[in-house]
Structure 1
Amino acid sequence: MKTYGFGVDIGGTTCKIGLFDMSGQIIEKWEIPTNTSHAGTLILDDIASAIHTKIEEKAISLDDVQGIGLGVPGPVGKDGTVYKCINLGWDVFNVEESLAKKTGLYVKAGNDANVAALGEMWQGGAKSHQNVVMMTLGTGVGGGIILDGHIVSGTHGAGGEIGHLQMNEHEAATCGCGNKGCLEQYASATGLVRMAKKKLENDQRDSQLRQYPKFNAKNIFDAAKDNDPVAVELVEDFSSMLARAMAHIAVVVDPEVFVIGGGVSKAGDMLLEGIRRKYQEIAFHACKATTITLAKLGNDAGMYGCVRLLF
């Protein structure tokens, strides 16, 4: 193992870049804009330039760099082929080969949610565990599955697409993926707000939520902490939907730990307690002891996981 590694987590707005030593310590991190113009063809050039600039600035020899780990917001095959990243403008191409040619360094790529799970396994909330399921609760629901220390990416790079578990066959609204009744329509920040608006239309009880011209998931959890009856029920429904999805996942992959990250995870103990309570009610008996905990690395999880890809 060489001395240094770079972790690059590509987002729709910025690329987060970290210089690490290969023991897992972050030396420096910074961001560059994600230039999605010209069908995203400039993104890899910008990343290559940023890395070479840092190598020169730190007087690092290329021989001391293990490589570049890359987190991509879309499905990635085992050979490094990206199967379209709509928000970057990318079509199907081999991102590992392309960036390797631009940098002269070894490149290993993975889906961004999967590498975040790998980061949490390596240095975060699931440290010391080898069988991990991570769920990221934000605008949507992302996921990553790690078994025996390895990412489960599947045949088409869609392994871990937990947000698109089919949870309600009677749902009329369409998910962003084109299907109906997906987990992220209920258990994401936007899903919780959607459920709240529907509930307030059909429920005449007083609620703090009615005072907001536009409320968000945090407002709902805050209201629940104040024992607002409508908000309490919403948080219970939200937690129950997640727990049911986790019980389904558990009987397929039987993880040691579920790690919950993303913006909604800032609700902390209120969220965890609700999920744990419902999970205990419905999980298969052999899976009831599964640990459910919060992620620890925040927005840096992807960078850590990208470096872990290089092992």
Structure 2
Amino acid sequence: MRIDLHTHSTASDGTDTPAELVRAAAAQGLDVVALTDHDTTRGHAEALTALPEGLTLVTGAELSCRVDGMGVHMLAYLFDPDEPEFARERELVRDDRVPRARAMVDRLRGLGVPVTWERVAAIAGDGSVGRPHVAEALVELGVVPDVSGAFTQEWLADGGRAHVEKHELDPFTAVRLVKAAGGVAVLAHPGAAKRGRTLPDAMLAELAAGGLDGVEVDHMDHDEHARARLRGLARELGLLTTGSSDYHGSRKTCRLGEFTTDPEIYGEITRRATGAFPVPGTGGRP
């Protein structure tokens, strides 16, 4: 059983529509895929309508969080999307994305980069605009060789010359909101040091005490040392460990199913969730 619990569509910063994503997941031989767009559930309906027979969809979102000036991402699975407090917080985060992206464009222009808001908005399309869309505009202009090259201190990384902060959840609040909405909370790529500062072990322990369910261990941004360390820490703290592709379509080099989650761990995630349930495919029929 092949299970990928972290993917993105055009509802946020992926390049596949939700329908294209679930069809691609089935073609890659996945049995379960989670759609976890940034701070939004907007792609779920389309994915469910197009869900191929034999593929199960886990609904979710990747939440933008910040603590002590450090960016943290939280994967939320199988929560009730209509729970009022959680829905309000996701909306606040989404609403701040446009002014933030505009401010990054302004900073880049101040650095001599001829990027335009119109082009960034066109790249984002109907998705929730974010740094990857600004990064793609930089690639088009030849400023950086690829999207990853834009996430440096020179450009868009946390604390970088063109970085602008946005409204983000405290991760402890995020865990509380996810759990209150009947969901399961898993910390995304916590050992991705190349993205910037990583969460201290002591804070991970505090999150575990506060209800965090698990950590994403097998991820393209974790080397073998980071995976072994996180697996050991998760064992000490009683946390679940997941593996995922963090698929973004052509925007990143990762492939669907590049890393997967153990079926027993997936089973425990589904047992813990009360806000929503995995949906088996019906062959693309609503």
TM-score bracket, shorter-length normalisation: 0.3 to 0.5
Q: TM-score, normalised by structure 1?
A: 0.35
Greater RCO (CA < 8 Å, at least 6 residues apart): 2
Which structure has the larger Rg over C-alpha atoms? 1
Q: TM-score, normalised by structure 2?
A: 0.37
